[in-house]
Amino acid sequence: MSLRVKICGITQADQGRAIVHLGATALGFICVADTPRYVSPQQIRAIVDRLPKDLTTGQSIDRVGVFLDASLPEICQTVAIAGLNSVQLHGSESPEFCHKLRFALPDVEIIKALRIRVPEALSQADFYQGWVDALLLDAYHPTLSGGTGETLDWSTLRSFRPRCSWLLAGGLNSENVLDALSAVTPDGIDLSSGVENAPGDKNLEQVAKLFEQLRQIYQKEG
């Protein structure tokens, strides 16, 4: 399976391990205090240290910290404490901020999330592509920054071809993921509320069903 699959909002070590075994290629940790899925840097590290390692490389899968308009020192400190190798910026961070972050953390992946309210908002991607490794497109919500369960209008993304890789987010679950991937061709997908019992409590049966659905796609292609 070449599609990148990121399960975000991990709060429990046993669930993190199980989700890796089911097939996820990245786990996301919410580093935004006072939000339902928040985990401290120390809690993230405790989860990361228990993740299974690749037998060939000895590395664990991608560990993504999700930040919302955090300061550069805060991000760098969290990355170091938590053992992250990827940073997702989910606020109003500017291209200039991404540029500074790139120099501060040259070996860490930078993902910039864009909340898409109207098709014209896709033009934001042009400003960031030179400074980030990947983009993540999420559904716009007037008061929430993510994990809303709301989907994007996939038809508006059919011609979206940024120069960097991109992930589709926003209300994805095991029931609609095949429809989404038949409408658009992202390099990866990001799920959170669509595979949860409650914020931060993942439904492993739903995660397993998700990967069963994805295998259908790749079996057909094979």
pLDDT digit string, tens, across residues 77-117: 999 999 999 999 999 999 999 999 999 999 999 999 998 76
Q: What percent of the chain has pLDDT over 90?
A: 73
63, β-bridge pairs: 27
pLDDT at 145 over 70: no
138 is catalytic: yes
Amino acid at 127: F
Phi and psi torsions of 143, nearest 5°: -125, -20
Amino acid at 8: C
pLDDT at 142: 43
pLDDT at 143: 45
Catalytic option among 8, 31, 98, 190: 8
Closest CA to 85 of 102, 62, 67, 66: 62
Mean pLDDT, residues 23-27: 96
Question: pLDDT higher for 222 or 17?
Answer: 17
Closest CA to 27 of 49, 58, 48: 48
If you write DSSP's letter for every residue of 13-66 in order, what string do you get? HHHHHHHHHHT-SEEEEE--TTSTTB--HHHHHHHHTTSPPPTTT----EEEEE
For residue 129, give Cα distances in angstroms to 64, 121, 138, 162.
19, 14, 17, 7
- For the chain, give the number of residues: 222
Using DSSP, how many helices (H) and how many strands (E) does the chain show? 7, 10
What is the distance between the alpha carbons of residues 184 and 137, in angstroms, rounded to a whole number? Answer: 12
201-202 and 196-198: which strand pairing? antiparallel
Residue 151's pLDDT band (cuts 50, 70, 90):
confident
CATH homologous superfamily, domain 4-221: Aldolase class I (3.20.20.70)
* Cβ-based neighbour number of residue 216 at 10 Å: 11
Q: For residue 166, how far is the Cα from the chain centroid?
A: 10
Question: pLDDT higher for 67 or 159?
Answer: 67
pLDDT in tens, 185-213: 999 999 999 999 999 999 999 999 999 99
Instruction: Round the CA-based radius of gyration of the chain to a whole number and report it.
Output: 16
Catalytic option among 62, 138, 153, 187: 138
pTM of the predicted protein model: 0.91
87, β-bridge pairs: 65, 110
Q: What percent of the chain has pLDDT over 70?
A: 88
Q: State both tokens at 214.
A: 């994805």
Residue ranges per structural domain of the chain: 4-221
